[in-house]
């Protein structure tokens, strides 16, 4: 029952996925030629890489993209954006079939953590993002946890 009421938490998770999208790239093999709205085209047989990490930090789409602002995902602000501006779960016929489950899992994990702990970043050990198949930190993610009584 509570999951449907966690609207701000959902916005925070989406904003985190925007900045540190778990799947930074996907690739597609073009079985037929494609022409983009600006007139440029690619022939069949190309391997195309789509950079979601860069898309999520594109200044033409996101104002002050480096700033963490969950309110970008409020219903009013989301309504003005292109449906493909945020692609953490990809889009189209091969989008993520686990996205609803993943969102629920993240909300549960986050809620149960925040009920017990206050979290602070450790500025002396910032994570170093590396794009493998998924986005990871090469040196771990170091946080200070304070138990909430």
> Rule CB under 6 A: which residues touch ligand HEM?
22-23, 26, 88-90, 94, 96-98, 101-102
Q: How many CB atoms lie within 10 A of CB 76?
A: 7
Residue closer to ligand HEM (CB basis): 96 or 110: 96
Helices (H), 5-124: 7-19, 52-55, 75-79, 99-116
Residue closer to ligand HEM (CB basis): 94 or 149: 94
Q: Taking the complex as a whole, how short is the minimal distance between the CB of residue 116 and ligand HEM, in angstroms?
A: 22
Buried b / exposed e along 95-122 (16+ C-beta atoms within 10 A): eeeeeeebbeebbeebeeeeeeeeeeee
Residue closer to ligand HEM (CB basis): 19 or 26: 26
Q: Taking the complex as a whole, how short is the minimal distance between the CB of residue 85 and ligand HEM, in angstroms?
A: 14
Residue-level length of the chain: 149
Q: Taking the complex as a whole, how short is the minimal distance between the CB of residue 87 and ligand HEM, in angstroms?
A: 7
Residue closer to ligand HEM (CB basis): 77 or 90: 90
Residue closer to ligand HEM (CB basis): 113 or 122: 113
Query: Is the dihedral angle over the CA atoms 51, 57, 85, 16 positive or is it negative?
Result: positive
> Shortest Cβ contact with ligand HEM: which residue?
98
Q: Taking the complex as a whole, how short is the minimal distance between the CB of residue 105 and ligand HEM, in angstroms?
A: 7
Q: Taking the complex as a whole, how short is the minimal distance between the CB of residue 104 and ligand HEM, in angstroms?
A: 9
CA angle 128, 132, 133 (to 5 degrees): 140
Q: How many CB atoms lie within 10 A of CB 21?
A: 23
């Amino acid at each position: 029952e509570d999951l449907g009421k966690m609207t701000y938490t959902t916005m925070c998770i989406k904003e985190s996925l925007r900045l540190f999208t778990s799947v930074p790239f996907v690739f597609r093999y073009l079985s037929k030629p494609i022409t983009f709205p600006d007139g440029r085209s690619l022939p069949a047989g190309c391997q195309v890489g789509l950079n979601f990490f860069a898309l999520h930090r594109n200044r033409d789409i996101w104002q002050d993209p480096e700033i963490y602002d969950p309110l970008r995902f409020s219903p009013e602000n989301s309504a003005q954006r292109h449906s493909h501006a945020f692609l953490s779960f990809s889009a189209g016929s091969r989008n993520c079939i686990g996205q609803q489950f993943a969102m629920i899992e993240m909300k549960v994990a986050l809620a149960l953590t925040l009920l017990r702990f206050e979290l602070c970043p450790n500025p002396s050990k910032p994570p170093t993002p590396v794009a493998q198949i998924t986005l990871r930190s090469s040196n771990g993610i170091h946080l200070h946890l304070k138990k909430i009584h």
